[in-house]
Amino acid sequence: MELIRFEKVRDGKYLKNYEITYLNKLGREKKYEIVSRRELASAADLGSKPSGVSIVATNNDKLLLLHEFRMGVNCNVYNLCAGMLEKGEDIEACIARELYEETGLKLRRIKKILPPSFAAVAFSDTTTYIAFAEVEGDFEDNSSENEQIEAKFYTREEVTALIEQGEAFSSRAQMAAYFFTLGAI
């Protein structure tokens, strides 16, 4: 695969649309569309800077899951607490802020932060950290008027039931939930 052209085709409020033109393995031109959360100067910038975090949070052998309305799929989905890094913010501060904003909970300790990984490789260069954390406190709704989030701690049995019932999950949350049921988290 050989890159021929890289150009921005639309500049949205939150997402930038780019068109990438390649020569495929047979030497034919192929156009591919992607979105990014950031301004990209060239193809070399693709995936080069992490933009956020997904948080696998636990408290006393219970897993924190958000049941939130997601406009992109027009339904409630079980998800991890997550969010975008603000300008000048380090990852630890982002984790604490997002936990508080989405749940009212406080960060007790960070157990592990994995290196950035691609969040949606089929259509975006967005990379995010995955953090494993212990949290504490009481739930409060500090979310914006544009978010509908119900935060709750779930036991292994409750998480198993959600998975077996085929409840709607984001893929990262479903994977974390499954490993939680196995006692791996």
Domain boundaries, the chain: 2-42, 52-181
Question: Under a CB-based contact definition with an 8 Å cutoff, are residues 185 and 91 in contact?
Answer: no
Task: Tell me the pTM.
Answer: 0.91
Phi-psi region of 96 (alpha: psi -120 to 50; beta: other; left: phi over 0): alpha
CATH 3.40.1350.10, domain 52-181, yes or no: no
Tell me the C-alpha distance between 7 and 45, whole Å: 12
DSSP H helical ranges for 27-129:
91-103
List the pLDDT tens digit at each of the 185 positions of the chain.
899 999 999 999 989 999 999 999 999 999 999 999 999 999 999 999 999 999 999 999 999 999 999 999 999 999 999 999 999 999 999 999 999 999 999 999 999 999 999 999 989 999 999 999 999 999 998 778 888 999 999 999 999 999 999 999 999 999 999 999 999 99
Neighbouring C-beta atoms of residue 164, cutoff 10 Å: 9
Give the per-residue pLDDT at 142.
78
CB count in 10 Å sphere of residue 144: 8
Closest-CA residue to 37 (of 14, 12, 8, 70)? 14
